[in-house]
Amino acid sequence: MRQGILALGVSILWLLSVASAGAQEKVIVSHTTRGSLSIGPLLYGIERGFYREEGIDLVYVSIRADLGIKALISGDVDYLYSVGTIIRGAALGIPVKTLSFDFAKVMHFLMSRPEINSGATLKGKKVGVSSFGATGDLAARVALQQLGLDPTKDVTIVTLGADTLRYAALQSGTVHATHIPIPLNIQMKKEGYNELFYAGKVLQRPLTGLATTTEKIRKNPQQVQRMVRAFLRATRALKGERAGFIAFAQKKFGYSKEMTEEAYKVLVDALSQDGIVDDSVLQAAIDEAKTVTSVTKPISHADVVDYSFLRTAMKK
């Protein structure tokens, strides 16, 4: 009888350990983009199972940048993928930190309607952006300046939200130009739209990455470490698994192989070095964040970035 009870106890413990090992912690990460390869490393990491292997059931949701940081602070989402928004938030004193960067160039293209083929023909027209102060907004303004236009005087800038909404607004003629992420710009060129300027030519800025609240870092450092470890693996996989990533992107987004291969070159060129960006690039992002938010107090790199989890992950 006693042996039977012991055997039953061992069986129950074994079943509990299996259930525990198989348990997945649901975690939500958000960004504005729905159909852009700029979220490729994140989605590829989910597809490859890197987060599942860390015990995380990672769910991606698309939320407008300005609403995303509010959702992060309220706890409705756990992580944000829009690091430009996070840096501006940190400059304002919001308790958030970027943990790792993947892209260090702004992969936004200023695309225009077929009848607009230069800065001169765009002058006096409407330009759509995702939201004021977002990275795409910065990219659009930089592109306009490169075309010889003053964004504050020569065009009217309006907010439209996600890339799909901006594309629809361009199609309908609601706006005459907007910033478009890769590889939608490639598709649009084939449809007759004009690529006026690639902001990544002159704008090296942290584009996407993994960010969260300081409260999350303090209260759940184990989850943060697991997230960063999987995030780093995904970034490395994108660079090292060309054929695999291209096949995934074709299936996920419905792009042609030709389009995806062209976009892949831009993606790899824009990747950061294992999640870390040059100090000068980060400082430029901080300076711009201070300008946009009208902050005058000193903002250090440590105020906006916490590389400690990333450096631990790189040692594995």
CA dihedral of 86, 91, 92, 98, whole degrees rounded to 10: 30
Domain boundary among 181, 201, 221: 201
- Shared domain for 310 and 220, answered yes or no, is yes
Predicted confidence (pLDDT) at residue 7 exceeds the cutoff of 80: no
The answer to whether residue 5 sits within a structural domain is no
**Spatial contact of 193 and 122, defined as CB atoms under 8 Å apart:** no
Predicted confidence (pLDDT) at residue 20 exceeds the cutoff of 60: no
- Shared domain for 209 and 299, answered yes or no, is yes
The residue that leads in pLDDT, 166 or 183, is: 166
Predicted confidence (pLDDT) at residue 8 exceeds the cutoff of 50: no
- DSSP string of 267-282, one letter each residue: HHHHB-BTTB--HHHH
- What's the domain range around 68? 24-105+205-314
- Shared domain for 84 and 223, answered yes or no, is yes
The answer to whether residue 1 sits within a structural domain is no
Work out the pLDDT band at 287, boundaries 50, 70, 90: very high
Q: What is the pLDDT of residues 54-76, one digit of tens each?
A: 999 999 999 887 788 999 999 99
Q: So what's the pLDDT on residue 175?
A: 97
From the centroid of its chain, how far is CA 29? 10
Distance (Å, whole) CA 219 – CA 233: 24
3-state secondary structure of 24: coil
Least Cα distance to 112 among 165, 175, 157, 161 occurs for: 175
Q: So what's the pLDDT on residue 22?
A: 57
Q: Which residues partner with 198 through β-bridges?
A: 109
Least Cα distance to 138 among 117, 162, 157 occurs for: 157
- Shared domain for 99 and 218, answered yes or no, is yes
The answer to whether residue 262 sits within a structural domain is yes
Q: What is the mean pLDDT of the chain?
A: 89
Work out the pLDDT band at 10, boundaries 50, 70, 90: very low
- Shared domain for 119 and 92, answered yes or no, is no
Q: Encoding tokens for residue 164?
A: 């799909």
Distances 294 to 92, 93, 131, 176, 279 between C-alpha atoms, Å:
9, 12, 17, 29, 22
The answer to whether residue 8 sits within a structural domain is no
**Spatial contact of 130 and 85, defined as CB atoms under 8 Å apart:** no
Sign of the torsion angle spanned by Cα atoms 215, 216, 218, 220: positive
Mean pLDDT, range 300-316, rounded to an integer? 94
The answer to whether residue 10 sits within a structural domain is no
Q: What is the pLDDT of residues 85-141, one digit of tens each?
A: 899 899 999 999 999 999 888 889 999 999 999 999 999 999 999 888 777 888 999
- Shared domain for 87 and 114, answered yes or no, is no
Work out the pLDDT band at 231, boundaries 50, 70, 90: very high
- Shared domain for 182 and 251, answered yes or no, is no
From the centroid of its chain, how far is CA 308? 20
Domain tally, the chain: 2
Domain boundary among 201, 231, 260: 201
Domain boundary among 159, 174, 201: 201
Predicted confidence (pLDDT) at residue 13 exceeds the cutoff of 70: no
**Which amino acid does the sequence have at 133?**
G
CATH number at residue 151: 3.40.190.10
Least Cα distance to 259 among 268, 246, 270 occurs for: 246
Predicted confidence (pLDDT) at residue 9 exceeds the cutoff of 60: no
Mean pLDDT, range 253-261, rounded to an integer? 88
- Shared domain for 197 and 305, answered yes or no, is no
Q: What is the pLDDT of residues 170-219, one digit of tens each?
A: 999 999 999 998 888 998 999 999 999 999 888 888 878 999 999 999 99
The answer to whether residue 79 sits within a structural domain is yes
**Spatial contact of 45 and 233, defined as CB atoms under 8 Å apart:** yes
- Shared domain for 242 and 191, answered yes or no, is no
3-state secondary structure of 103: strand
The answer to whether residue 2 sits within a structural domain is no
Least Cα distance to 209 among 316, 286, 310, 129 occurs for: 310
Quote the DSSP letter at residue 81: S
As a whole number of Å, the end-to-end CA separation of the chain is: 48
- Shared domain for 161 and 214, answered yes or no, is no
Q: What is the pLDDT of residues 24-46, one digit of tens each?
A: 999 999 987 776 788 889 999 99
Distance (Å, whole) CA 101 – CA 311: 12
Distance (Å, whole) CA 249 – CA 265: 13
- Shared domain for 244 and 95, answered yes or no, is yes
- Shared domain for 234 and 291, answered yes or no, is yes
